[in-house]
Amino acid sequence: MSHNRLRNIEGSVFLLLFCLTVPVANWMLGHVGTVCPAGEPCLVPVAPGLMAPSGVLMIGVALVLRDLVQRRLGTEFGVAAIVAGTALSAAVAPPSLVVASAAAFLVSEFTDFAVYTPLARRRLVLAVLASGLTGLVIDSVVFLWLAFGSLDFLLGQIVGKAWMVLLSIPFIMIMRRRDERIGLTPA
């Protein structure tokens, strides 16, 4: 298989998975958790004594997947993924959270893009880690402030998303080594 074909196939898979994170995150809020209070989001433990809405896990994954879309398909696809994800976020969010959800997604993903892009060619793992951690803090602050006018649940949101970014690092390292071994360069 040619490098261009492999890059396009992997990029398409990453793009599909990225787009799926938004509806899956919203579904998880009502269906996945160790605690699911009536009329409230389901919660999962993210650290001892710290709970977070289960959907935050998928947002951490989304930040990493957007980086991988950009790595495989190029910056224009990275930007298009952000726009598509923002539209999906607005479309599937509960009516009371549409603005907060879409704004948080848009701002955090463009922040992720701004941090990832200059680092990605030389330091892929650092780029994914730095952009993901920056994006997840921005996402949490923007969402909580716009949705609730409060940052009371900031720590749980940050920790839940950070776990997903950190768990992706071994995969990123394996992918980078494989790319180097076969001579596959970023788009």
pLDDT at 96 over 90: no
pLDDT at residue 85, as a whole number: 92
pLDDT category of residue 40 using cuts at 50, 70 and 90: confident
- Position with higher pLDDT, 11 vs 96: 11
- For the chain, the farthest-separated pair of C-alpha atoms sits apart, in whole angstroms, at 52
| Predicted local distance difference test score (pLDDT) of residue 93 | 86
Q: How far, CA to CA in Å, does 180 sit from each of 121, 130, 175?
A: 12, 21, 9
CB proximity list for 17: less than 8 A, separation 6 or greater:
61, 65
Percent of the chain with pLDDT over 90: 87
Token pair of 171 as six digits? 């995969």
Q: Provide the pLDDT for residue 121.
A: 86
Give me Rg for the CA atoms of the chain: 16
State how far the Cα of 114 lies from the Cα of 181, in Å rounded to an integer.
Answer: 28
Q: Residue 39: its pLDDT value, please? A: 84
114-158 pLDDT per residue, tens: 999 999 988 999 999 999 999 999 999 999 999 889 998 899 999
The CATH code belonging to domain 3-181 is 1.10.1760
Q: What is the mean pLDDT of the chain?
A: 94
Q: In this structure, is the dihedral angle defined by the CA atoms of residues 63, 159, 86 and 23, taken in order, positive or negative?
A: positive
All structural domains of the chain with their residue ranges: 3-181
pTM of the model: 0.94
Q: Which residues contact 132 (CB under 8 A, 6 or more apart)?
A: 60, 63, 64, 67, 112, 161, 162, 165, 168
Distance CA 169, CA 88 (A): 26
